[in-house]
Structure 1
């Protein structure tokens, strides 16, 4: 959605400062150096407790709370942006607020429907959890859809944003998402909200083991849905299936 928003002119580039869209953070020390790309790369340096078992952690506040904007305004830096990788649901949620404000006259859900759900001919309706009625989408999680439609997202990225001859997402954006960049705190296994795998494969991964695994060189997409990871090493399973294909 961010790639589409840049192509549509809602956002100029990933180098834009976060405080342009979230001015509520401008008085926080160091926030003037935080960019959209830092959030995409999980190199923001913004403090966030990612624990999924701590009822007082930030993840619990984001999931069960009813005011995500207020929670975002409380964020502070614990490291300089662009110096280290640290996976953070808070970064993804901040991206959601930025995109929501950039769109102005439409919600994230409406934009998702317009740019992806309808153009891809999704076979089922989906839901996206909000923090409260008519509130902000939980962009760190909580899109609920069927396996077949998740597979279409995988196919879209497999084909570098092209869907049956029409460029739905800019090719340059897809390539940026799936090409490692270890500068400025980045890591070889993560890029722009995707987990990078061996042999140019990549994966979208949910908290309970929901996965979209894409293997471009084998023209292969695998979907896994479930309520828990279990004891399975899913990375190894997917790699084995790719090699056996």
Structure 2
């Protein structure tokens, strides 16, 4: 992958925004990268990979825990399964692919509902229950993500990790994007708000089905760049264009509340104005974004040919920090820099 570096001061406000967030959340390190018009225009690394007395500085090969940003990779795997016919249609019922599930609870729930967080299911102490009818409301619940990874593996015979390694990581020579069962020196330590945070879970699975994915800032930017270029890198179609469009175009079912977030294949997409969107007001229609609990954010703005990434090794929101307002303003800051360039 050939991306020229042409750093300039016009995107300094993005660095200021990331630095401000870095000072407000509980973390030890951060990074930010912006790609515009096939050039890296901003690339900065802040702090250290941990709070240890002798800690490795955050640098180009530092890999951050991306939390829910991993959903964009799962969305890709589902799009792969749809494109190659392993999944017939995203409006197929989940029970078509997992008939062993409780029919009374899962009836009328489609793969589209899972992809757009509109399935209405939740889980407590291993028991699945229904919160609302499929398509009625929006809520992010882990059970939907786990079911998608199960369907991918059952239909394709490959794990999410297998699909990503074979069709993206190996062809593009990514070495800083993976699911890990063991720590190594390039992984930034996740800084918890308090000891024994119940939301923090460790897994030994490397199948792509659990929340243990680490990615460097530059490879997360490259992942966004692959989508921005519709699967074509350096003049070669690495991934079929249709896989990218499936993942990043609006797939949410029609809902009674237009202010609910809008999704593609797990990506948040900017379509009609929605009060509960995580994408900034100034970010144009057709853009898409993914956000993790660690504050890691990947924003793609096709209209402006831009990819923007921010990375932190925080976990969750400290008191007084509004993560939704912060991530929205990140996108708006990027757009403000673009207005400056145009003027």
TM-score (norm 1): 0.77
Moved more, 5-14 or 165-174: 165-174
In structure 2, do the counterparts of structure 1 residues 189 and 8 end up closer, same or farther at CA, with 3 Å as the change threshold?
Answer: closer
For the pair 1:235 / 2:328, whether they are aligned, the reply is: yes
For the pair 1:115 / 2:174, whether they are aligned, the reply is: no
Which residues of structure 2 form unaligned runs of 5+?
1-76, 182-200, 270-278, 339-343
Q: How does 1:68-217 map to 2 (within 5 A)?
A: 71=126, 74-104=127-157, 106-124=158-176, 126-128=178-180, 137-139=208-210, 141-181=211-251, 183-185=253-255, 187=260, 189-196=262-269, 197=279, 198-199=283-284, 200-217=286-303
Choose from 115, 122, 145 the match for 1:40: 115
- Number of the residue aligned with 2:88: 12
CA offset at residue 237 of structure 1? 2.5
SS state of the match for residue 130, structure 2? Answer: coil
CA offset at residue 195 of structure 1? 1.8
TM-score (norm 2): 0.57
**CA RMSD after TM alignment:** 2.8
Supply the distance in 2 between the matched residues of 1:14 and 1:161 (Cα, whole angstroms): 21
Higher relative contact order, structure no. (Cα contacts within 8 Å, ≥ 6 residues apart): 2
Contact 2:95 2:103 in 1 (8 A): no
Supply the distance in 2 between the matched residues of 1:37 and 1:79 (Cα, whole angstroms): 16
In structure 2, do the counterparts of structure 1 residues 169 and 3 end up closer, same or farther at CA, with 3 Å as the change threshold?
Answer: farther
CA offset at residue 134 of structure 1? 6.0
In structure 2, do the counterparts of structure 1 residues 131 and 109 end up closer, same or farther at CA, with 3 Å as the change threshold?
Answer: farther
Supply the distance in 1 between the matched residues of 2:336 and 2:100 (Cα, whole angstroms): 49
CA offset at residue 234 of structure 1? 2.7
Moved more, 4-13 or 179-188: 179-188
Supply the distance in 1 between the matched residues of 2:203 and 2:213 (Cα, whole angstroms): 15
- Number of the residue aligned with 1:67: none
Contact 1:180 1:188 in 2 (8 A): no
Supply the distance in 2 between the matched residues of 1:94 and 1:205 (Cα, whole angstroms): 20
Choose from 311, 314, 321 the match for 1:225: 311
Contact 1:151 1:221 in 2 (8 A): yes
CA offset at residue 82 of structure 1? 1.7
Which residues of structure 1 form unaligned runs of 5+?
49-57, 62-70
CA offset at residue 133 of structure 1? 5.2
Which runs of structure 1 show a deviation greater than 6 angstroms over 4 or more consecutive aligned residues?
A: none
SS state of the match for residue 100, structure 2? Answer: helix
How many residues matched? 220
Contact 2:120 2:134 in 1 (8 A): yes
- Number of the residue aligned with 1:53: none
Q: Counting strand residues as a fraction of each chain, which structure ranks higher?
A: 2
